[in-house]
Amino acid sequence: MNLLTIVTATKDGFEGLKKTIDSTKNYRNLGSSQVIVDGNREEDSSKIKEYANKEGVSYFWQKPQGIYGAFNFGLSKVESKWIWYLNGGDLALNGNESIVWSLLEKSNSDIVSFQIKTDDRLYERPPFAQMYPPVYNWIPHPGTIVKSDSLRKIGGFDEKFKVAGDGNVWFKMLNSNASMDIISIPVAHFTAGGRSSNLIKTKQEQKMVVKNNFLKTLGILMRRIYQMIYFLVVHE
């Protein structure tokens, strides 16, 4: 089984996607596969397909079904242990590829969450005490690599979401006892105005994510409180 597949969804033309493909070359040299899920018009698609073939990247055209439809389509084509969603226009940062590869080879977790850059600044994580539940979606998918089987186990992405489906996935995975490695190494740069930056516009859908996962999350938090009370009583 291959170690990693990079899935790149695109509908915004050739130039941004070319930069993404070029940025991931070092990972392909290490043995990663890459899958393009293209929803562009025919003129751009022909250029994308030609360039993907030239670079040894698998190409698939899909009638546009939203970003999470593209993510699920990409997941259906993946045979590797890990999957990394890096959209057209987003860039894999160079310099840490061997470290990332080694971490993926050794990790026993379901999720490995790295850092990302935007506008040449590191995306700040919240304090540790605020990481669960992930209400404000601090887990950015361009910097997060997931075990393919773990993602399949929860049914992949809910396609009723337009921009907050990844936040829903993190809730579902963490609430299903998935384990996560949190690594302070930047691996990607996401482009403001690109597909990933649509997360800024997700207030309404974020509310839906929290509502959908509220009872399960509350149950987990209550169990933690009971554990603390039990510890205090037993160790009086």
The pLDDT tens digits of the residues spanning 134-191 come to: 877 789 899 999 999 999 999 999 999 988 899 999 999 999 999 999 999 999 998 7
Distance CA 67, CA 128 (A): 30
The domain at 4-234 falls in which architecture? Alpha-Beta Complex (3.90)
- The pLDDT of 96-123, averaged and rounded, is 95
Question: Which residues, 6 or more positions from 66, have their beta carbon under 8 angstroms from its beta carbon?
Answer: 159, 162
Distance CA 212, CA 44 (A): 38
Q: Does 194 score more than 60 pLDDT?
A: no
In the chain, what are the domain boundaries? 4-234
Q: What is the mean pLDDT of the chain?
A: 91
Confidence of residue 86 (pLDDT cuts 50, 70, 90): very high
> By mean pLDDT, which of 24-38, 77-91, 188-202 is the weakest?
188-202
For position 198, what pLDDT does the model report? 52
The model carries a pTM of 0.90
| CB-count burial class (<10 Å; 0-12, 13-18, 19+) for 6 | buried
Q: Does 196 score more than 80 pLDDT?
A: no
The pLDDT tens digits of the residues spanning 66-78 come to: 999 999 999 999 9
Confidence of residue 38 (pLDDT cuts 50, 70, 90): very high
> By mean pLDDT, which of 40-44, 101-105, 187-191, 221-225 is the weakest?
40-44
Task: Give alpha helix (H) positions in the chain.
Answer: 14-23, 25-30, 42-54, 67-76, 97-106, 148-153, 165-175, 203-234
